[in-house]
């Protein structure tokens, strides 16, 4: 296998993908045309171009977005992504996916997403703080504990959330922790929140393996992406008997049939900035990782990775989506024909937003739960939702993705029609 690094970049327009998935599921529901359109289109979209003073004294303009896809079920919820290639269409899709994710797992939230077009690794810590505080100020017309509650996503973390919380609080004149989730524990974050997205992926990987009849003990796992989701899910699957045979990040991947110790790999990545070059493993590219023979493949990098081009060559038995939108609609069809089970993002990576909900509730009530309570309630909600989606898929004879979207769209449609169209 070649050793050349291949960047992880999406290959299909994300918004087109999200709409195609929506249309497939909406066709199962008796929705009037107007209602269907309300559910498809983003409710509001904000684009901001804003200046940031850089360390060398120069001023640079950055572009940011915040999209509210749907607000019918409650305040909007969704992360903020810092990525050099992010587009408004990506943010629209990601916001729509948040609507379905919150709906299918039963949270009282609508869907939103935000982004800044930037490579955060190229900024100093001061520049990152200035950019974050200015972006937070620009989107503060949309953000509030009752209206829209951001969280971390690709390229952002708990520290970025702390700066957003502080900026909002300085303008409000009082501390407002519930305006963001995924905050550090020191300022009202929740136990278990940083681990939650990966823990959720592990929980559904376990349930899906049971369903397909693959014992987790000894199962071979390949993980694309070694960020917050990819590393936690690797630790948990490894701790429960799986063999992590391959891992990648944006600089390339590594492969070892005998298994990789994910914690040693984490230490290596912290030191060298990438997993590539980890001793004792063979170097592979991201496309090669996706096509390895394994039991469970966890794409947890970015959208649009498994396409009509590589889906015919996939050799995994189960694909559990750690990222949002890693499998395109064409690939979904090919994998369904090939009887490869795909557990869709709306369920599999909902752990983050579920514990965000717990964090928001704890912040509003000023009453905090233990890590055991958090993890127990996370597992209860995820297993219930997974079971419901599996049953709907059986009833409607469709994929888990379409079943999840049918349930999600139906819940929002019912709420919309119960509330009525104003005025």
CA torsion angle 410 416 419 423 (round to 10): -160
The region of 23-31, 38-46, 77-85, 300-308 touching ligand GLU under the rule CB under 6 A is 77-85
- Least distance in angstroms from the C-beta of 180 to ligand GLU: 9
Cα(50)–Cα(89) distance, integer angstroms: 20
Write out the DSSP string of 127-139.
HHHHHHHHHHHHG
- Dist. CA 37–CA 65, nearest whole Å: 22
Interaction of residue 225 with ligand GLU, rule CB under 6 A: no
Q: How would DSSP label each residue in 369-418?
A: --HHHHHHHHHHHHHHHHHHHHHHHHHHT--HHHHHHHHHHHHHHHHHHH
Give phi and psi for 63, each to the nearest 5.
Answer: -110, 135
Question: CA–CA separation, 354 vs 343, rounded Å?
Answer: 17
Is residue 228 at the binding interface for ligand GLU, with CB under 6 A as the rule?
Answer: no
Q: Binding residue for ligand GLU (CB under 6 A) from 352, 358, 362, 399? A: 352
Residue 81 or 317 with smaller CB distance to ligand GLU = 81
- Of 17-25, 349-357, 369-377, 392-400, the segment contacting ligand GLU by CB under 6 A is 349-357
81 three-class SS: strand
Residue 423 preceded by cis peptide, ω within 30: yes
- Dist CA 197 CA 233 (whole Å): 8
Phi-psi region of 173 (alpha: psi -120 to 50; beta: other; left: phi over 0): left
Binding of ligand GLU at residue 291 (CB under 6 A)? Answer: no
Tokens of 361: 């509730």
The answer to whether residue 353 forms part of the interface with ligand GLU (CB under 6 A) is yes
Closest residue to ligand GLU in the complex (CB)? 79
148 contacts ligand GLU (rule: CB under 6 A): no
Least distance to ligand GLU from the beta carbon of 284, Å? 27
Q: Which region, judged by CB under 6 A, interacts with ligand GLU, from 72-80, 366-374, 391-399, 403-411?
A: 72-80
Kind of pairing between the strands at 76-83 and 148-152: parallel
Q: CB of 246: closest distance to ligand GLU in angstroms?
A: 24
Of 3-32, which residues contact ligand GLU (CB under 6 A)? Answer: none
Distance of alpha carbon 171 from alpha carbon 167, whole angstroms: 7
- Residues shown for the chain: 423
Query: Least distance (Å) from ligand GLU to the CB of residue 264?
Result: 27
- Catalytic choice (43, 53, 77, 113): 113
Size of the site for ligand GLU (CB under 6 A): 11
**Is the CB of 183 or the CB of 283 nearer to ligand GLU?**
183
324 in contact with ligand GLU (CB under 6 A)? yes
- The correct pick among 64, 79, 189, 325 for binding ligand GLU (CB under 6 A) is 79
Out of 18, 52, 67, 151, point to the residue binding ligand GLU (CB under 6 A).
Answer: 151
For residue 113, indicate whether it is catalytic: yes
Question: Which one, of 293, 299, 347, 337, lies nearest residue 319 by Cα?
Answer: 299
Stretch 178-207: interaction string toward ligand GLU, x if CB under 6 A: ---x--------------------------
Whichever of 292 and 353 has its CB closer to ligand GLU, that residue is: 353
Q: Is 88 exposed, middle or buried (0-12, 13-18, 19+ CB in 10 A)?
A: middle
* 3-state class (DSSP) for residue 141: helix
- 78 contributes a contact to ligand GLU by CB under 6 A: yes
Active site members: 113
Residues that bind ligand GLU (CB under 6 A): 77-79, 151, 153, 181, 324, 349, 352-353, 356
């Amino acid at each position: 296998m070649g050793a050349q690094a291949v960047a992880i970049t999406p290959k299909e327009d994300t918004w087109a993908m999200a709409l195609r998935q929506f249309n497939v599921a909406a066709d199962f529901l008796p929705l009037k045309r107007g209602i269907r359109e309300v559910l498809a289109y983003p409710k509001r979209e904000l684009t901001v171009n804003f200046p940031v003073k850089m360390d060398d004294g120069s001023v640079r303009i950055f572009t940011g977005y915040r999209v509210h896809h749907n607000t019918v079920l409650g305040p909007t919820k969704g992360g903020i992504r810092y990525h050099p290639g992010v587009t408004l269409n990506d943010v629209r899709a990601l916001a729509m996916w948040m609507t379905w994710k919150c709906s299918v797992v039963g949270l009282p939230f609508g869907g939103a997403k935000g982004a800044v077009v930037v490579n955060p690794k190229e900024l100093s810590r001061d520049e990152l703080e200035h950019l974050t505080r200015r972006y937070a100020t620009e989107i503060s017309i949309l953000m509030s504990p009752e209206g829209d509650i951001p969280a971390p996503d690709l390229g952002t973390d708990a520290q970025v959330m702390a700066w957003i919380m502080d900026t909002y609080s300085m303008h409000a004149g009082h501390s407002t922790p519930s305006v963001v989730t995924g905050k550090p524990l020191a300022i009202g974050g929740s136990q278990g929140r940083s681990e939650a997205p990966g823990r959720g992926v592990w929980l559904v990987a376990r349930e899906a393996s049971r369903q397909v009849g693959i014992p987790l003990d000894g199962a071979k796992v390949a993980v694309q992406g070694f960020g917050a989701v990819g590393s936690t899910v690797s630790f948990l699957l490894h701790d429960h008997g799986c063999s992590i045979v391959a891992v990648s990040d944006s600089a390339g991947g590594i492969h070892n049939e005998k298994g990789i110790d994910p914690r040693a790999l984490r230490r290596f990545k912290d030191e060298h900035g990438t997993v590539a070059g980890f001793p004792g493993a063979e170097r592979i590219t991201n496309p090669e990782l996706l096509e390895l023979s394994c039991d469970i493949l966890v794409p947890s990098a970015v959208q649009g990775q498994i396409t009509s081009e590589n889906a015919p060559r996939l050799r995994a038995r189960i694909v559990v989506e750690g990222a949002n939108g890693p499998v395109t609609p064409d690939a979904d069809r090919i994998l369904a024909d090939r009887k490869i089970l795909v557990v869709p993002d709306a369920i599999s990576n909902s752990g983050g937003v579920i514990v965000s909900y717990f964090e928001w509730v704890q912040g509003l009530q000023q009453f905090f739960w233990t890590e055991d309570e958090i993890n127990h309630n996370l597992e209860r909600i995820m297993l219930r939702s997974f079971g419901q989606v599996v049953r709907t898929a059986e009833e409607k004879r469709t994929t888990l993705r379409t079943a999840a979207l049918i349930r999600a769209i139906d819940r929002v449609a019912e709420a919309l029609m119960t509330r009525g169209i104003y005025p």
